[in-house]
Structures are given as C-alpha cells and as structure tokens.
Amino acid sequence: MTALTELSDAELQDLVVQAGGKAFQARQVAHWLWKHGVTDYAQMRNVPARLRDALAAAHAVQASRVRHADLAEDGTEKLLVEFGDGETVECVIIPDGERTTLCISTQVGCPVGCVFCASGMFGVRRNLTAAEIAEQVLHARARLGEGRRLTNLVVMGMGEPMLNLDGLLPALRRIHDPDGIGMGARRITVSTSGYPRQMERFAAADPSYNLAVSLHAADDRLRKQLVPTATSPVAEIVAAAHRYFGQKGREVTYEVVLLDGKNDRPRDADAMIALLGQLPCTVNLIPWNPVEEIVAREGLRRPQTLRVDAFAAALRAGGLKVTVRRQRGADRSAACGQLRLRQSPPPAGAPAG
C-alpha cells in the first residue's frame, strides 16, 4: 500500500481530486503530513471524513514506523525505523545544549565497506525512497519534548548518500521546503566518501547545503586500505568538493576517523596539510568508536587522547582549522560508525565490508 508521503504534490492533488475532494484539500493533507507529521487519518481534523475514508482505503499515511527507541545516558536517542518490507535503518537524535542534531540514513546497509564501519559490514540491501528518508525527520521531531526543535540535520547515518541521489534529492527538497518540513538548507549537511560525478549533480540541485567529505587519509594508498571501494583519487574528490561548494562560499568539512597507528601518524598529518592546507575547510577528527567484531577482524584500535591531540596540533600548526568530535551515545551503539543493520540477517552472499 503506497503511503501518502510517497506521493509528489501533483500526485497527491490528483488523488484527492479523484477521491472527490478539491485541490486546496490536497494542500491541507500535505500540511498535516509534513508540518504536523500525523500518523493517522483521524488527526487530519479539517479534512472531511468522507475524503479521509476514500484516501485511507488505498493509502497508508506514512511509509515507516519507529520499531524501537534507545536512549543513552547522555541524552542521545537512537531510533530503529522499520519500512513496509520489514527492512530497518537507524537514525540518531543528538542533543547538545541549544542544538539538537539528527543523523539520518539513506540506504539499508552500505556498499562502501569502510574497514572501521559497522554500517557497511553486510553490504547494501537497498536504497531508501525519498519518503523513507524524509520520514526519519518526522519521527525524530515527534519525539522532542515541548520547546525543543531539530536545529541541524546531518546525512551521515547508514549508506552513501551520493549513491542514492534519486531518493536523497527529493527528500531534501521536502525537508527544506517551507511548505514541507521547513528546515533551512544551511542547517543541512550531507556527507560523502567521495564520488566527484555525483557530487556535481548534488551541487547542481542546490549548492546551499553543506558538504562533508569522509576523507580518512590524504594518501591514495592508505585511503584505499581504509575505504576499499574508493576509486577516485583524493585530489579529484577534493577538487570536486571545492569546485562546487567552496565557490559558493560554503565551507567544506573533511571528516577523518582516526585509527591508532593507521592514519594518525605525523606523516599522515603532513600529507593532509599538503592536500588541504591552502583550502577554506575544516578538518573534523573523529577518534574511532570500537565495534567488537571489527576489533576482532581488523585489529583496529581507538587512539589515545594524547595521540589525537598531537595529530590535531600538527594539523593546526600546518594552518588547518580542526575540530575533534566528542563521543556521543556510545553506550547504545549510536556513535559514528556504529549504526548497523539490526534484527535482520545479512543478504545471501553479502560482502563482509
């Protein structure tokens, strides 16, 4: 059964008119869907009961539901979101003072297979639809208490956003649209592990979003070890990021998951300074959050704070702007790189990541 949220505005209008309603009533229905995030037809109070019944006969309201929520001690909340076919993804609400950031997913699993990441351990099962992506924002918004609102959105959860632009772009339009969810484009950051051609298409759609590039290493050989499916040279990825986003005055963020002894050595800092030193950007260092199976399989370790500080200091001395991400929600596996396929077996023959 198709959900109303899966319809474009034009499709919803056609549906309402075919069901005996008026065009303006389609806008009322859309308002209930996206401004109020209703989950039930009965909540659409200004829509006539006859029209609601006609719509309900063939359409669900939403394409997903929250199957499980897990609250960490620091207030981070992870939602397990389930779709009509039983597949699930996770999204994470991260409160931080005045800010509340939501991290959403774009694919069930991930095809990129970064060696340190739980999301990519079983490969990708499928892309999310635009509605399945946008509804994660509705579910998160519904869980916020009185007076709290989502201030920032990061597309950094499960999946590689650039490999699902057909779902992501209409979802972001709905999230950004003042008649939709209405979140400013500048509060939205999309993260990619680097696909120059797709980055170009993304930027052409709306360059006012922020871009984060998961770089992890400035040296192509080392990067290939950490991101085995990476095919584009780092110089090409960086050039694409700055061609499309730097030119618009948007700052590009480079994410670096730091792994002890792998990519946090002085020579790794030197390579990063050589690559990024002259560019308007911020490097965000993320000390790796250990995942049991990956520790056992890859022998990876989280670096000590002293090593992280030394790496950050070296980058700063080289002229780079650097931030270090605090660990949030780790007691519920909600930290970066720990979102994973849960409660579903891996697909037959899936790569081990």
Write out the catalytic residue numbers. 90, 336
Single out the segment in contact with ligand SF4 by CB under 6 A; choices: 1-9, 24-32, 116-124, 327-335.
116-124
CB of 154 to ligand SF4, least distance (A): 12
| Stretch (H or E) spanning 188 | strand 188-192
Determine, following the binding rule CB under 6 A, whether residue 110 of this chain makes contact with ligand SF4.
yes
Compare residues 139 and 223 and give the one whose CB is closer to ligand SF4: 223
Determine, following the binding rule CB under 6 A, whether residue 114 of this chain makes contact with ligand SF4.
yes
> Under a CB-based contact definition with an 8 Å cutoff, are residues 34 and 15 in contact?
no
> 145 is written with which tokens?
């208490």
Q: Tell me which residue has its CB nearest to ligand SF4.
A: 120
- Alpha-carbon span 120 to 205, nearest angstrom: 27
- Alpha-carbon span 233 to 31, nearest angstrom: 45
Determine, following the binding rule CB under 6 A, whether residue 196 of this chain makes contact with ligand SF4.
no
Determine, following the binding rule CB under 6 A, whether residue 253 of this chain makes contact with ligand SF4.
no
Considering only residues 145 to 184 of the shown chain, the ones binding ligand SF4 according to CB under 6 A are 158-160
- Alpha-carbon span 7 to 164, nearest angstrom: 18
Determine, following the binding rule CB under 6 A, whether residue 217 of this chain makes contact with ligand SF4.
no
CB of 310 to ligand SF4, least distance (A): 24
How is 81-143 classified by DSSP, letter by letter?
EEETTS-EEEEEEEEETTEEEEE--SEEE-SS--TT-STTTT-EEEEPPHHHHHHHHHHHHHH
Sign, CA torsion 198/200/204/210: positive
CB of 164 to ligand SF4, least distance (A): 11
Determine, following the binding rule CB under 6 A, whether residue 287 of this chain makes contact with ligand SF4.
no
Binding site for ligand SF4 (CB under 6 A): 110, 112-114, 117, 119-120, 158-160, 193, 337
